[in-house]
Structure 1
Amino acid sequence: MKMLVVFTYPNHDSLNYAFLQKVLKGSNENTKIKEIQVLDLYEEGFNPLLVFNDQKRRRDMHTDPHTEKYRKQLMWADKIVFIYPIWWGRPPAMLLGYIDQLFASNFAYRDRKGLFPEGLLKGKSVVCVSTMKGPTHYPFLWLNNAHKILMKRALFNFVGIKKVKFFEFGNMESPKGNQVKKLEKIYRYFKEVAC
Structure 2
Amino acid sequence: MLGGALGLLGVLALTGLAATWLARPPKPAGPVVVGTLAPRPVVLPAAWFVRPAAGTDGGRIDLAIPWSELTGSALPGLMRVTATRAPETEAPLSPARRYARFLTAEAQPLPEGLMRRRFRAGTPFEGEDLYLAEGEGGRFAARCTTGPSPEPEAACLSEVRIGALSLRLRFSPERLPAWSAGLAGLERLFGSEP
Q: Same fold (TM over 0.5)?
A: no
User: Please, what TM-score do these two structures have when normalized by structure 1?
Assistant: 0.22
User: Rg larger in 1 or in 2?
Assistant: 2
Q: Please identify which structure carries the higher strand content.
A: 2
User: Please, what TM-score do these two structures have when normalized by structure 2?
Assistant: 0.22
Q: Please identify which structure carries the higher helix content.
A: 1
Structure number with the bigger relative contact order (C-alpha 8 A, sep ≥ 6) is 1
